[in-house]
């Protein structure tokens, strides 16, 4: 337990010193906030409030896919993870420490984003703060776990960046974060229900706009995705970039796809 706490604290300090992580965690969300609020929300309080669920979801995806994922691959390429291999440290300790440290930074960034939106655009959250934090945390956990899987599968930073973009943009546009899912054709709306971004957008919309309590069903789906993703990431973990990844380990990624399919079946009930 002491080793985990020490490693988590160290990862938190390293993340705060990493310019790339700071950009994706703090500056990138604010860029999206001002662009969306000006272009789509027309700086109108109600308009910007309606955009906040999608903006917070996009920021959560960016933190997981670009902040956490790219950071882990970069550390592996620099040989930083290799140093842990000679110590009695298991992959789950490294993965969970990275998850917690990046989670704290990303959650702080999202709270800053919302606070700035409230101060500048008079955005109002109709629901309770507890429900909002619960939904935000569940969504962050889901996207960060997927980012960890990407980092485990990617051979280098370039591959990780390509895979992250391949996941990021479809999840943003098809999941209802960039534009309402109702605008999609019926076939794509069915696909949208399978995506974690759709769950997070709907969950935050119910809290921010409608003033409802956090949906237990949505939180369970996002938390399940996150927990399964962490387990898969730990199974796929590699200490070095040139370490081979067997086909059996790659098959673990299919577990996450199965979770998405299960989420879609739950949504249709």
Q: 133-158 pLDDT, tens per residue? A: 999 999 999 999 999 888 888 888 89
For residue 14, what pLDDT is reported?
73
Distance CA 50, CA 252 (A): 37
Q: Mean pLDDT throughout 36-56?
A: 87
The domain total for the chain is: 1
Which of 4 and 258 is assigned the larger pLDDT?
4
**pLDDT at 178 exceeding the cut of 60:** yes
Q: What is the pLDDT, as a whole number, of residue 60?
A: 92
Task: State the pLDDT at residue 248.
Answer: 67
pLDDT (average), residues 27-53: 85
Average pLDDT (232-250) is: 76
pLDDT at 131 over 60: yes
On the question of pLDDT at 266 being above 70, the answer is no
Q: Is the predicted pLDDT of residue 30 greater than 80, yes or no?
A: yes
Higher pLDDT, 220 or 85: 220
- Sequence-distant (6+) residues with CB within 8 A of 191 are 174
Q: Which of 45-49, 85-89, 181-185, 216-220 has the lowest mean pLDDT?
A: 85-89
What pLDDT is attached to residue 168?
92
Taking residues 107-132, report their average pLDDT: 90
Residue 2, pLDDT score: 75
Which of 5-19, 38-52, 213-227 shows the lowest per-residue confidence on average (mean pLDDT)? 5-19
Mean of per-residue pLDDT scores for the chain: 83
pLDDT of residue 10: 77
Range of the domain at 235: 2-267
pLDDT above 60: residue 251: yes
Query: Could you tell me the pLDDT band of residue 259, with boundaries at 50, 70 and 90?
Result: low
DSSP string, the chain: -HHHHHHHHHHHHHHHH-HHHHIIIIIHHHHHHHHHHHHTSTT-HHHHHHHHHHHHHHHHHHIIIIIIHHHHHHHHHTTTTHHHHTTT--HHHHHHHHHHHHHHHHHHHHHHHHHHHHHHH-----S-HHHHHHHHHHHHHHHHHHHHHHHHH-SSHHHHHHHHHHHHHHHHHHTTSSS-GGGS-HHHHHHHTTSHHHHHHHHHHHHHTS-PPPPHHHHHHHHHHHHHHHHHHHHH--SSTTS---HHHHTTHHHHHHHHHHHHHHHT-
Tell me the CA distances in angstroms from 89 to 8, 92, 160, 238, one per residue in order. 13, 8, 24, 13
């Amino acid at each position: 337990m002491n080793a985990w706490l020490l490693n988590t604290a160290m990862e938190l300090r390293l993340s705060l010193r990493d310019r790339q992580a700071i950009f994706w965690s703090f500056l990138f969300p604010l860029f999206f906030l001002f662009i969306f609020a000006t272009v789509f929300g027309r700086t109108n309080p109600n308009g910007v409030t309606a955009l906040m669920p999608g903006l917070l979801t996009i920021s959560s995806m960016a933190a997981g896919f670009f902040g956490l994922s790219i950071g882990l691959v970069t550390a592996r390429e620099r040989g930083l993870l290799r140093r842990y291999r000679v110590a009695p440290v298991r992959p789950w300790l490294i993965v969970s420490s990275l998850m917690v440290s990046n989670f704290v930074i990303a959650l702080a960034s999202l709270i800053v984003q919302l606070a700035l939106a409230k101060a500048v655009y008079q955005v109002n959250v109709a629901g309770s703060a507890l429900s909002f934090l619960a939904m935000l945390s569940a969504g962050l956990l889901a996207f960060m776990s997927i980012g960890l899987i990407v980092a485990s599968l990617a051979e280098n930073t370039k591959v990780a960046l390509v895979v992250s973009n391949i996941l990021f943009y479809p999840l943003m546009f098809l999941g209802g974060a960039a534009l309402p899912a109702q605008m999609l054709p019926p076939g794509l709306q069915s696909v949208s229900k399978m995506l974690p971004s759709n769950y997070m957008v709907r969950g935050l919309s119910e809290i921010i706009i409608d003033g409802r309590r956090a949906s237990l069903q949505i939180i369970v789906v996002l938390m399940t995705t996150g927990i399964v993703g962490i387990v898969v990431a730990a199974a796929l973990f590699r200490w070095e970039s040139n370490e081979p990844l067997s086909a059996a380990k790659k098959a673990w990624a299919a577990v996450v796809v199965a979770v998405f399919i299960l989420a879609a079946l739950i949504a249709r009930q």
